[in-house]
Amino acid sequence: MKNVVIIGSQWGDEGKGKIVDWLSNQADVVVRFQGGHNAGHTLVIDGTTYKLRLLPSGIVRKNKISVIGNGVVIDPWALLEEIKEIKSKGVDVNPNNLIISEAASLILPFHAEMDEIREDAAGNAKIGTTRRGIGPAYEDKAGRRSIRIIDLISEKNLENKLNIILKHHNAIRIGLGKKIYNKTRLKKDLIKIAPNILKYSQPVWKKIDEFKLKKKKILFEGAQGILLDLDHGTYPFVTSSNTVAAAASIGSGCGIESINSVLGITKAYTTRVGEGPFPTELKNKTGEELASRGKEFGTVTSRKRRCGWFDGVLVRQSVKISGINLIALTKLDVLDNLDEIKICIAYNLNGKKIDYLPTGLENQLKIKPIYKTIKGWKKSTNGIKKFENLPDNAKKYVSEIEKFVKAKVSSISTGPERNDTIRIKNPFNF
C-alpha cells in the first residue's frame, strides 16, 4: 500500500484531471493540500462532466473520502456553491465523505476586492492572478490575522477576529481611496453559512493518521504546477502557496514518511496562463496550432494559454526539486501533425550555456532556449492504448523526455477521453 502525491511539473494546466480520476478511483482517500478555487480539474465519468475547483476529485466516486487540508484557502460561498452544483448531478456530499480542516483559512469578499485593486493598479507589472482573493488570503494567513474555519464556531470570537483583520485591510483601503469594508454585514453573512461549513470540519491531521493506521491508500492532489511555487517558481509570477510535493505533508498535517511516490503530470509541450517568463513560448503559427489542437483554455477562468515547445530544463528542475519519480505525459496526440518537434535542453544566457532556470527575473527574461530537434511522426496517436503501437518517432520523443528529465514515464495520454491512455506503471504500486 503506497500513498501518492500528484502534482503538475510545469505551470499548471498539464491535464491532471484524467490522471487524477484514474488514481482517485484506486485510492481510499483523496486530499487537497494547497491552493484555492483558482485551479480546476475536469473529470468526465459515465458521460457526466464535473468541473471541480475546491473539492478533491474523489468526491464524485462512491466509497471515497475527500479531504480539504489546512494548506488550502477556502472561499466558503464558492465551496457551498460547488457542493450544490455537484449534488445537482447526483453526487452525495456529506460529513462522512467530505472532511475540511478546521485550521484552513477563509477567503473573504474583501480579499477578492484587494486582488482586483492591485492587479488593476499594477499596469504592465500585473501578475496575472485569477482575481479570486487567493493571494491576499495567504498574506493574512502569514500575517497571523486570518479567519479560519474553527473561528466560525463562536460569534464573540468571530467579532474579535473581524476587528483585527479589517483594521489591517481598511487602513490599506483608505490609503488607496476605497471605502472601508462593512463588518456588520460580513459577520451576519458568515454566521448564516457557518453551520453549513462547520458540519464538515475536523482536525485533518488526526484523521489522516487514522487512515494510515488502517492502511488506507491516500492520494494527495496538488493544484497548479511546480513552476508556480512561491519559493521555487518564476517569482513573482507565481501563486501564493507552495506547490511542490513536500507541501502535501505541511498542507495536510502528515509526516513526510507518508509520501511514497511522487507523480509529476507533464504536458508533451509547454503552456502557461497569465504573465511571466516563458523561454520556449511560440508566438507563431506553430504556437497557434498547439493552442487550437490542445484546446488550451483554462477550466475555471477560460483564459487562453500561451504555448511553446517542451522545456526539458524546467521539467528536470521540477523533478529534482519535488522528488518526482514518475511522469504522466499528457496530450501527446496534439503533436501528431508537426513535421519536427523541439525539446529545450539548455539555455543561452549572455553567451554562456546554462542547464537550469536562473533565479532572478531579469535573467529569466533574457535566456534563450537551446533545442534538440526530433523528426515528427505525422501519424495519429489518438486513442492508442499500448506503447508498442505508437509511431517510432513518437516512441523516440517519449524516450528522449524520459532520459533527459531523469524520471520514468508511467502513462501517456493520447486523447481527451479517460481511456485514451497508455498505462505503463501504476504509482500506487511503484
Asked if pLDDT for residue 275 goes beyond 60, the answer is yes
Q: What is the CATH number of the domain that holds 280?
A: 3.90.170.10
H helices of 128-202, in order, are: 134-142, 155-175, 183-198
pLDDT value for 301 = 58
Question: What pLDDT, in 10s, does the model give residues 182-193?
Answer: 999 999 999 999
Asked if pLDDT for residue 157 goes beyond 60, the answer is yes
Question: What pLDDT, in 10s, does the model give residues 386-409?
Answer: 999 999 999 999 999 999 999 999
List active site positions.
13, 41
* 75/155 same-domain check: no
* 311/421 same-domain check: yes
Instruction: Measure the CA–CA gap between 97 and 92, rounded to whole angstroms.
Output: 8
* 357/395 same-domain check: yes
* 43/117 same-domain check: no
pLDDT value for 44 = 74
Q: What is the CATH number of the domain that holds 149?
A: 1.10.300.10
Instruction: Measure the CA–CA gap between 40 and 53, rounded to whole angstroms.
Output: 5
pLDDT value for 125 = 64
Mean pLDDT calculated for residue range 249-255: 96
* 80/218 same-domain check: yes
* 284/299 same-domain check: yes
Angle between the N-to-C axes of helices 183-198 and 76-87, in degrees from 0 to 180, rounded to the nearest 10: 40
The DSSP secondary-structure symbol of 283 reads -
pLDDT value for 298 = 63
Number of domains in the chain: 3
Q: Which residues contact 217 (CB under 8 A, 6 or more apart)?
A: 1, 2, 3, 26, 27, 28, 29, 428
Q: Could you tell me what percent of the chain has a pLDDT over 90?
A: 80
pLDDT value for 20 = 85
Q: Look at strands 408-413 and 352-354 and give their pairing.
A: unpaired
* 170/113 same-domain check: yes
For residue 19, what pLDDT band results from cuts at 50, 70 and 90? confident
Asked if pLDDT for residue 31 goes beyond 60, the answer is yes
pLDDT value for 150 = 97
Instruction: Measure the CA–CA gap between 285 and 71, rounded to whole angstroms.
Output: 40
What is the domain extent for residue 281? 265-429
Mean pLDDT calculated for residue range 79-90: 95
pLDDT value for 203 = 97
* 88/235 same-domain check: yes
Instruction: Measure the CA–CA gap between 363 and 349, rounded to whole angstroms.
Output: 7
pLDDT value for 116 = 85
Q: What is the CATH number of the domain that holds 248?
A: 3.40.440.10
The DSSP secondary-structure symbol of 342 reads E
Mean pLDDT calculated for residue range 316-322: 97
> For all residues of the chain together, what is the average pLDDT?
93
The DSSP secondary-structure symbol of 415 reads S
Question: What pLDDT, in 10s, does the model give residues 223-240?
Answer: 889 999 999 999 999 999
Mean pLDDT calculated for residue range 62-82: 96
Q: Reduce the DSSP state of residue 309 to 3 states and report it.
A: coil
